Structure 1
Amino acid sequence: MHRTTSLPGAPPGGPSLHAPHAPHSPHSPHSGRRTAGGSAAWLRRALAATVAALALVLGALVATPGPAQAAGSLPCDIYAAAGTPCVAAHSTTRALFSGYNGPLYQVTRASDGATSDIGLLTAGGYADAQRQDTFCGGTTCRISKVYDQTSRHNDLLPGPAGTAGGVDRGADASEIAVSAGGHKVYGIWVSPGVGYRYTGVASGVAVGGQPEGVYMVASGTHVGSDCCFDYGNAERTPADTGNGHMDAVSIATTCYFAPCTGSGPWVEADMENGMFQGDNGSNTANLGNSSPYVTAVLKNNGQTTYAIKGGNSQSGGLSTWWNGALPTRGGYRPMQQEGGIILGTGGDNSNRNMGTFFEGAMVAGYPTDAAENAVQANIVSVGYAGQTNVPNGPQGTITGPGNKCVDVAADDTGGNLSAVQLWDCQTYAEDQHWTHNANGSLTTLGRCLDINGNGTANGTQVELWDCNGVGGQKWVQRADGSLFNPQSGRCLDSPSGATANGTRLQIWDCNGSAAQRFSVAGGGPVAGPGSTCVDVASDDVGGNSAAVQLWGCQSWAVDQHWFHNANGSLQTLGRCLDITGNGTAAGTQVQLWDCDGAGGQVWQQRTDGSLFNPQSGRCLDSPNGATANGTRLRIWDCNGSAAQQFTLT
């Protein structure tokens, strides 16, 4: 069965100096994709309030298994109990107050501009990723707002143009999916040009030398050296107004003040006009943090002292990289913070770096080490899991001639008419990851691979354009490695087989040459009877013997994207569409199995729309033409009926 599990309710949080947002209207429940029953999550239960206070003093929390986040145990509860309340709390993965039950973030749909707030499965719990998947299904969405979970409404929007960068765009909402608390959640994938800001003076955020603290959970593997992947206090407008006017935590491979130890990435303090690893800038004791998930911590008393800490968000405690005097360079004693908030950029809107953000908070006052240790213990209890360095949804690279990748000119910022070209493959490049949709379109950056002017002539170039369903946006992955456009009858082509970076792609008569081998690593949906898709039971984790069935098409479902190999096999989740027991009898069911080259794993698309298995001489079939979710597929005598219409994309 396809279903969504949710956390049981959590009791409301205890008193805090700043209450979270007033509750928003609860979301109606959605029936969604299936799970195999859900894995148990090891989460933190809170101690009673008096014991919790004692634990803070001692710098330790006791973790026990439990089904939900318990009252008083979440980061902003911990900070408040220690006398340093959160004044801004942002996350796309979970609540940071145990009593919070409002929206985490807003998504905007590319197809019609509609918006939806993505909230929680339960108060104090985890993000309702299924709501995003359902709302954004069949199109793309961007994260258009990140809500502040405090009562101060310090919400973040894509930033305005600054003195060092143009207008920011929102992140692709489905670019990076991970697990938290045993639930699928989405992070914020920051590419060059992506960034968020509270413009002006945010409520309660430190200004003019006031003490403050900030932490974030970010990727230690999706990082760069340009400026800047920051979260924290920045100028009220996007311009560099001088030393000490920022106080944001950063993780990057930027060695701004040499010498540095190793190659990073390092947790650093961006206090404007310098990425400080500690001390007066250079700090060879800062060894860096390169785990997939990094807890990055900064605190500053605004007058004399600051501290930098880093840790693995999946295990262990924090390492203190610096705890001492503020830089002696002019402007940092005292600090001159302005109280803006940035996420993913620098204070002047330098938006050329990359990173992945999951959660973070800013607090009033100088946090205790005990509170920070307790926050780290809580973060570890969440059980963050999954890769953080590559887009990991159903999208995949399109490998072309010379092992180059199909790429959009303009470095992850492509708009209409942007050239589509070959370029060296870069695992982190958002615009090299394409989703093959059930209608045959290939999408990246919210737009489609399009033939210029919807043309059909040899030599017509391809480009990026708003998805509009025209024939020039349909692409079929064929077993010979070509991408075929049915309207023109031609294939995607590299002129004269060129492989140089920047080679502009075109359509040309299909000829089977190396110039036309473009393999979609993410595969594509197999459309079945009744506008359903061929799907694997067990929600993207199918192993050997997993049932292959019909289900409503879900653009986000990895196990609905099949790669058509040159040997005729159809592959998803690392396994092949297989006839059980390599059988040949009518009625034999199909399943997922390790790819082994057996005859029961060979499928040929025929002109009547059927998928033919040569060994058995039979076709893939839905019994009696059924189209209900969960209909188990089989082989049957080929008959050209609607029950045997399975179209590869």
Structure 2
Amino acid sequence: MTTSPSSRRPRSARGKPWRRLLAAVIGTGALAIGSLFGIAGQAQAATQLPCDIYGSAGTSCVAAYSSVRALYTSYNGPLYQVQRASDSATYDVGVLSAGGYANAAGQDSFCSGTTCTITTIYDQSPQHNDLTIEPAGVQGPANVGAIANALPVTVAGHAAYGIYLPPDTGYRRAGTTGIAVNGQPESMYEVASGTNVNNGCCSDFGNVETQEHDTGASHMDALNLALLNAPGSAGHGPWVEADLENGVFEGGTAVDTANTGNSSPFVTALLKNNGQNTMALKGGNSQTGSLSTYYSGNLPSGYSPMHQEGSIVLGTGGDNSNRGTQTFYEGVMTAGYSTDAADNAVQSNIVAQGYSAVSTGGGPGSEMVGPGGKCVDVAGNDTGGDLAVVQLYDCQNLAADQHWSGSAYGNGTLGTLGRCLDIDGNGTANGTHVELYDCNGAGGQQWIQQANGSWKNPQSGRCLDDPSGNTANQTALQLYDCNGNAAQVFRVAVPIIGPGGQCVDVAGDDLNQNGQQVQLYNCLTIASFNPAAQDQQWTLAANGTIQTLGRCLDIDGNGTANGTHVELYTCNGVGGQQWVPQANGSLLNPQSGRCLDDPSGNTANNTALQLYDCNGNAAQVFSFN
């Protein structure tokens, strides 16, 4: 930070009253949310709904999906089907009245005491292009259904549920009617979340291949809201993009700096493609305001004309690449290139619904757990901008602003919501508060984990601290002399930076299996590579182990000799899984008395790490973050 403390605006002691309700909502049903609002919740059918609007403009909906409301004033059928884990029985969740909102209370009653998953998402259009759980494809295993009550939401005062689509969760319709093929024009929009995103490929909504494999450029025409293409892009993301197969585009090119992204909790994302030579990308805040046109112009080179195949996907890519994540509330596909007037009218209707939620789902990174088992959190519900207070709060699994990524925005940083953990005014004194701020390379944004689990800021020589060990919600964190107390212990998965700035990595592509070689590799973070490598995120655990993918950094055969390779293995308590960070940056294995070592200081990708006599050389320096 470079702004002086005296020029900073006063902090707001914003709390998270909605988050206090999350456990109760999930446990007793989302119906409780609606009672918190003084909104009568009149049926929305009195005005035109999205598919009425598009139909009147000559671009009828040929696929219309929502878990929260009807998208036609006349629609009075089911929105989606859930299945109970306890007995495999199914229940269609419909609307309360024609043109109305989801019957969340019916789902709550049916699913009481057990877990329900969404097995079918019904098409409200006359085409009946219903979506079911997607099978295995070339790039991913068979998907699972979304947990039906994961994301409580309120729409026009009515309780409902969004569809939470983490990796390996997706839906597809291979045989469709009415969907554009072979260069026919089409348009599509979705209401999604700008906080539940990552840079894995590819959580799409739209037109894909008939089979779950890549058939070439221009065979897809789908919306993607993600952190793909982050290097060189404008803003923090995520970006409304077009996945056209073998390329995801912010405009006429993969990176288009006119597309500045949208991180609102609710995002309206829109793609139009005339199938021959033109496309447009638009986006806006689903809670307020109008749409912005990010791009309107020629199709990318090599994509004119299009060769769509007419299948529909939600939550994965066309070849079932299913490492992306998103949240879905509603979305449609139309026949024809929609008018700007119709798009604007649809956005106005969306804003009028008053979307509101505790959380819109997850996001990249992992929880940073501090004193009392509380999580490091940003004041406000996943909306944290510059100067937002960083505090302790009850851990919420799907709170995006409790998910922190190490070294994603520069080595030594801790980031969430596209911004960095920052010391107020770039200060160094005891008691200086910490906050969220644009990542700017300042010394007040550097954090290195210590052997005792504390996080030291090198510029000040002081540590991240919970004042007096207070574990009450909204306790603002601060900078304080490092003292080794429990009030300074925070556990989070971050990269281990080794020789040459390379990251400690597991051989293979996030392969969670015993015996995988542990090696050096280019650091693959959410801001530098698609997708970020989960097997480069390591947690220094309280029991002295170093873990990733739920397994431990292990010495092959529990060996102690020089040159013994290290690997990933099930955590089992043996001495070959104990590691103690040293003051000189090395990692000591007490059982052998030797250190983690990069043979001959080789920094090439795939260099296998080993055990070797501790010598203080640069080849043995490994920094957490």
SS in 2 for 1:468: coil
Q: Does 1:165 align with 2:135?
A: no
- CA shift for structure 1 position 620: 1.1
Amino acid at match of 2:284: G
Amino acid at match of 2:464: L
- CA shift for structure 1 position 479: 4.0
Distance in 2 between the 1:645 and 1:441 partners? 18
475 and 133 in structure 1: CA distance in 2 versus 1, 3 angstrom threshold = farther
Amino acid at match of 1:532: Q
Deviations for 1:34-58, whole angstroms, at most 9, x for unmatched residues? xxxxxxxxxxxxxxxxxxxxxx999
401 and 197 in structure 1: CA distance in 2 versus 1, 3 angstrom threshold = farther
Q: Which residue of 1 aligns with 2:578?
A: 602
- CA shift for structure 1 position 148: 3.2
64 and 435 in structure 1: CA distance in 2 versus 1, 3 angstrom threshold = closer
Amino acid at match of 1:536: V
* Contact 1:524–1:562 (CA under 8 A) maintained in structure 2: yes
Percent of aligned positions that are identical: 42
Distance in 2 between the 1:109 and 1:58 partners? 33
1:416-435 aligned at under 5 Å gives the runs 416-435=386-405
471 and 66 in structure 1: CA distance in 2 versus 1, 3 angstrom threshold = closer
Deviations for 1:493-551, whole angstroms, at most 9, x for unmatched residues? 1222222222111111122333222222xx11111112110000121123111110111
Quick one: which of 188, 211, 221 aligns to 1:89?
Answer: 188
SS in 1 for 2:516: coil
Distance in 1 between the 2:254 and 2:548 partners? 20
Quick one: which of 376, 380, 385 aligns to 1:415?
Answer: 385
* Contact 2:496–2:537 (CA under 8 A) maintained in structure 1: yes
* Contact 1:94–1:127 (CA under 8 A) maintained in structure 2: no
Q: Which residue of 1 aligns with 2:421?
A: 449
- CA shift for structure 1 position 121: 8.2
168 and 503 in structure 1: CA distance in 2 versus 1, 3 angstrom threshold = farther
Q: Which residue of 1 aligns with 2:518?
A: 548
Quick one: which of 353, 359, 364 aligns to 2:357?
Answer: 353
Q: Which residue of 2 aligns with 1:257?
A: none
Q: Which residue of 2 aligns with 1:474?
A: 446
SS in 1 for 2:607: coil
Quick one: which of 539, 551, 555 aligns to 1:575?
Answer: 551
Quick one: which of 135, 139, 147 aligns to 2:271?
Answer: 147
603 and 237 in structure 1: CA distance in 2 versus 1, 3 angstrom threshold = same
* Contact 1:110–1:141 (CA under 8 A) maintained in structure 2: no
TM-score relative to the length of structure 1: 0.53
Q: Does 1:78 align with 2:177?
A: yes
Amino acid at match of 1:561: Q
Q: Which residue of 2 aligns with 1:26?
A: none
166 and 422 in structure 1: CA distance in 2 versus 1, 3 angstrom threshold = farther
SS in 1 for 2:377: strand
Deviations for 1:539-587, whole angstroms, at most 9, x for unmatched residues? 1123111110111001121110110012321100011101001101111
Distance in 2 between the 1:561 and 1:479 partners? 17
Q: Which residue of 2 aligns with 1:100?
A: 219
1:52-451 aligned at under 5 Å gives the runs 78-80=177-179, 87-89=186-188, 92-93=203-204, 96-98=207-209, 100-101=219-220, 104-105=223-224, 109=230, 113=234, 122=245, 146-149=270-273, 151=275, 155=280, 157-159=282-284, 165=288, 181-189=319-327, 203-204=337-338, 236=345, 239=348, 346-348=350-352, 350-353=354-357, 390-391=362-363, 393=364, 395-437=365-407, 439-451=411-423
Matched positions, count: 405
Where in structure 2 are there 5+ consecutive unaligned residues? 1-57, 60-126, 141-171, 191-202, 210-217, 294-313, 526-531
579 and 58 in structure 1: CA distance in 2 versus 1, 3 angstrom threshold = closer
158 and 599 in structure 1: CA distance in 2 versus 1, 3 angstrom threshold = same
Amino acid at match of 2:468: S
SS in 2 for 1:434: strand
* Contact 1:110–1:446 (CA under 8 A) maintained in structure 2: no
CA root-mean-square deviation:
4.8
Deviations for 1:222-274, whole angstroms, at most 9, x for unmatched residues? xxxxxxxxxxx8862755xxxxxx5xxxxxxxxxxxxxxxxxxxxxxxxxxxx
574 and 558 in structure 1: CA distance in 2 versus 1, 3 angstrom threshold = same
348 and 634 in structure 1: CA distance in 2 versus 1, 3 angstrom threshold = same
122 and 206 in structure 1: CA distance in 2 versus 1, 3 angstrom threshold = closer
Quick one: which of 592, 615, 638 aligns to 2:568?
Answer: 592
* Contact 1:397–1:433 (CA under 8 A) maintained in structure 2: yes
Deviations for 1:118-162, whole angstroms, at most 9, x for unmatched residues? 665847xx9799xx99999xxx996996533554978553326x8
TM-score relative to the length of structure 2: 0.55
Distance in 1 between the 2:254 and 2:343 partners? 33
Where in structure 1 are there 5+ consecutive unaligned residues? 1-16, 19-55, 171-175, 208-232, 240-245, 247-345, 357-388
- CA shift for structure 1 position 184: 3.7
Distance in 2 between the 1:462 and 1:65 partners? 45
Distance in 2 between the 1:133 and 1:402 partners? 44
352 and 637 in structure 1: CA distance in 2 versus 1, 3 angstrom threshold = same
- CA shift for structure 1 position 452: 0.6
Amino acid at match of 1:352: S
101 and 182 in structure 1: CA distance in 2 versus 1, 3 angstrom threshold = closer
* Contact 1:76–1:97 (CA under 8 A) maintained in structure 2: no
Deviations for 1:406-443, whole angstroms, at most 9, x for unmatched residues? 11112211111111112222212111111111612110
Distance in 1 between the 2:290 and 2:393 partners? 26
* Contact 1:76–1:86 (CA under 8 A) maintained in structure 2: no
* Contact 2:414–2:447 (CA under 8 A) maintained in structure 1: yes
* Contact 2:220–2:318 (CA under 8 A) maintained in structure 1: no
Quick one: which of 504, 516, 529 aligns to 2:476?
Answer: 504
600 and 128 in structure 1: CA distance in 2 versus 1, 3 angstrom threshold = farther
Deviations for 1:321-367, whole angstroms, at most 9, x for unmatched residues? xxxxxxxxxxxxxxxxxxxxxxxxx33273423787xxxxxxxxxxx
236 and 441 in structure 1: CA distance in 2 versus 1, 3 angstrom threshold = same
